[in-house]
Structure 1
């Protein structure tokens, strides 16, 4: 089934909305990340980093819409790793209602194939669903993809998607 998927770039006025959605994202990864909630009942979110999505050039936060309804979010950063000149697909989250319908694949493929420049995709080895999703997305791109080794986070799998089309 093909659903009408739209990406809506957000502004600072949408920060609370994205922050709320991020709680679902954090909840789903809490089992393998071994995260606990804070005293206020919410998962930790590093606010200085989070606000950069609306303040730093090359960073953005978008809502994923399906038929006009909020279905998730996409966070993009400009990689700040030494020797990596690439955009980074930082976080992609799709609400359970919209999973297994091609929403995440459509967003990821559209994003990784857009514009000029390379992309860095990283996922935790212990997050089996995310790793399988990354492999499905990257296995069918019209751009070259290669796994790379980065020393900053040993628990991550790292993939570089280059801008050159096949």
Structure 2
């Protein structure tokens, strides 16, 4: 079933909206991240890092719209890992209502196919659905992909998507 999907890059006026959506993302990952909520009933967000999506070059936060309704978000960062000159698809979140419709795959393919630069995709090994999604995604991308070893986070599988098209 084809659904109309749109990526809408956010501006500083959308910080609270993305912060609210991030709470759903944090909730879903809390079982394998072992995160607890703060005393205010919300999951922790490191504000200086979060603000960079609207202040730093090559960082962005986009809303995923399906048929005009907010269906999730995508966070992109410039990798700051030594030796990695790539943008990173840092977080991709799709609300449960819109899963299994191809929304996540379409968004990831669009993002990872954009621009004349390499992309870093990192997937947590304890998040079985996300890891399966990543593995299926990288097997089907129109750009070359290779798994790379990185020592900063042992619980992550790391994929480098290069700009050269097949």
TM-score by length of 1: 0.99
**Residue 107 of structure 2 corresponds to which residue in structure 1?**
107
- Return the offset for 1:114: 1.1
Determine the C-alpha separation between the residues in 2 that align with 1:126 and 1:41: 25
Residue-by-residue CA offset, 1:44-73 (whole Å, 9 max, x unaligned): 000000000000000000000001000000
- Aligned CA RMSD, in angstroms, stands at 0.4
- Counting matched residue pairs gives 166
Map residues 127-142 of structure 1 onto 2, 5 A cutoff. 127-142=127-142
Indicate whether 1:57 and 2:57 are aligned. yes
- Return the offset for 1:115: 1.0
Indicate whether 1:93 and 2:54 are aligned. no
Indicate whether 1:15 and 2:15 are aligned. yes
- Return the offset for 1:10: 0.2
Determine the C-alpha separation between the residues in 2 that align with 1:67 and 1:38: 34
Determine the C-alpha separation between the residues in 2 that align with 1:51 and 1:150: 26
Determine the C-alpha separation between the residues in 2 that align with 1:40 and 1:100: 33
Determine the C-alpha separation between the residues in 1 that align with 2:39 and 2:87: 34
Determine the C-alpha separation between the residues in 1 that align with 2:33 and 2:80: 23
Determine the C-alpha separation between the residues in 1 that align with 2:8 and 2:120: 21
**Residue 74 of structure 1 corresponds to which residue in structure 2?**
74
Determine the C-alpha separation between the residues in 1 that align with 2:142 and 2:55: 32
Determine the C-alpha separation between the residues in 2 that align with 1:119 and 1:71: 23
Structure 1 segments, 4+ long, off by >6 Å, are: none
TM-score by length of 2: 0.99
